[in-house]
Amino acid sequence: MIHAVLHALSITLSMTWEITWALILGFALSAVVQAVVRKSTVVSLLGDDRPKTLAIAAGLGAASSSCSYAAVALARSLFRKGANFTSAMAFEIASTNLVIELGVILALLMGWQFTAAEFVGGPVMIIALAVLFWLFLHERLLRQARQQAERGVAGAMEGHAAMDMSVQREGSFARRLLSGEGFTSTSHVFVMEWAAILRDLVVGLLIAGAIAAWVPDSFWSALFLDGHPLASKLIGPLIGPLVAIASFVCSIGNVPLAVVLWKGGISFGGVVAFIFADLLILPILNIYRKYYGARMALFLLWTFYAAAVLAGYVVEFAFGALGLIPDQADATIPTEGISWNYTTFLNIAFLLLAAAFLIRFFRTGGRQMLAMMGGAPGSQEQGGEDRHDGHG
């Protein structure tokens, strides 16, 4: 028993060491973008569900938080302030599925093909969801959802979602970013994003390590019909989101488990559908119920599921036709641990960068921000204001 636990932990630690520098790089790049994109301008740009507006919503979402809970809370906040519901949901999807850090970790652990699939499948999912909303979202249900949203029932990460940590000074992109305030804003976004996703990332790595160590490949092969090419391609996108819903892991925390599923035999499109279903885990479905009511939560469940499945099929057959699906036999789970190679040197360099951000964060009011992460709907606006006191 002890040997099995140690084996699972060794896989978890090896996988963690393999992706550390990539995660820091991804969050640093995301922090730079968020430092110069002000949330106060978002609502005015999302007033309808035209294709151009949905594209803007996707772009703004990709530059926003990668924490699923914060993305869901921010989408509700945008909806309450007047944003179109479809555009708010497009923003939410992009906030978790089109962010830089997800693409970086996918490329490192699974290959660039999965990163490409993310940026192809994400827009497909948003388009599919917009069509489903246009066909089936009736005004009465939307009105009920708005009434429930206006009640301001607390979900999770309310304070984090409400904070506007962008640079407030005027000037060009470079001038704002390279200023002292720019460094402070970047450090605030960087650390707060880490604080928001750390739990899910740790849980995801632990689950992936345990499954990789304890669940035989034969189980996954039978579940995903490995050895039956067409059947596997057809069933993968259908089962992938169901595994995601039951995993309780969201954000980029589900990527380590995606590695295990891919090695176990799930189809390429099944992996993509699994990753895109991070907004359907059971805790988030419960938050939808609190935010919009039970009927809208069920509506979001089946429409998000259908959109993720469709995105999985599109990616599966499009990438297959182009010969871009990597060989599943080459899939490996990092197990070698720490050694003096390029990964170790990159980790040291980026850990030093993370340390610089941490020092700046705690010297400029970071403790108060961490205390306000959970927050409450009624105190959101204050959260964004208090952050500016520590800028230097």
Distance, in Å, from the CA atom of 237 to the CA atom of 266, rounded to the nearest integer, reads 9
pLDDT at 387: 43
pLDDT at 56: 92
pLDDT at 389: 41
- DSSP3 helix / strand / coil % (the chain, rounded to 5): 80, 0, 20
pLDDT at 382: 40
User: With contact defined as beta carbons under 8 Å apart, do 113 and 192 qualify?
Assistant: no
Task: Report CA-CA distances (Å) from 272 to 86, 105, 108, 228.
Answer: 22, 14, 16, 19
Report the chain's C-alpha Rg in angstroms: 21
Along the chain (392 residues), what's the average pLDDT of each consecutive run of 10 residues? 76 81 80 70 80 92 77 86 93 90 86 94 96 96 94 71 67 68 86 81 81 81 85 94 82 82 91 93 90 96 97 97 88 69 87 94 87 60 42 40
User: With contact defined as beta carbons under 8 Å apart, do 360 and 183 qualify?
Assistant: yes
Residues in the chain: 392
Distance, in Å, from the CA atom of 48 to the CA atom of 54, rounded to the nearest integer, reads 8
Distance, in Å, from the CA atom of 43 to the CA atom of 45, rounded to the nearest integer, reads 5
| Phi, psi (rounded to 5 degrees) for 99 | -85, 155
Q: Among residues 328, 334, 273, 327, which one has the least CA distance to residue 304?
A: 273
In terms of pTM, does the model score above 0.85?
no
**Which residues, 6+ apart, have CB-to-CB distance to 252 below 8 Å?**
23, 66, 99, 101, 102, 105, 197, 200, 201, 204
pLDDT at 335: 64
- Tally Cβ neighbours within 10 Å of residue 148: 20
Q: DSSP character for 279?
A: G
Distance, in Å, from the CA atom of 109 to the CA atom of 125, rounded to the nearest integer, reads 23
Distance, in Å, from the CA atom of 195 to the CA atom of 192, rounded to the nearest integer, reads 5
Distance, in Å, from the CA atom of 280 to the CA atom of 289, rounded to the nearest integer, reads 12
Task: Report CA-CA distances (Å) from 137 to 131, 146, 159, 303, 347.
Answer: 10, 13, 29, 10, 47
pLDDT at 161: 63
**Which residues, 6+ apart, have CB-to-CB distance to 128 below 8 Å?**
306, 307, 310, 311
Distance, in Å, from the CA atom of 89 to the CA atom of 317, rounded to the nearest integer, reads 26
User: With contact defined as beta carbons under 8 Å apart, do 77 and 85 qualify?
Assistant: no
* Count of helices and strands (H, E) across the chain: 20, 0
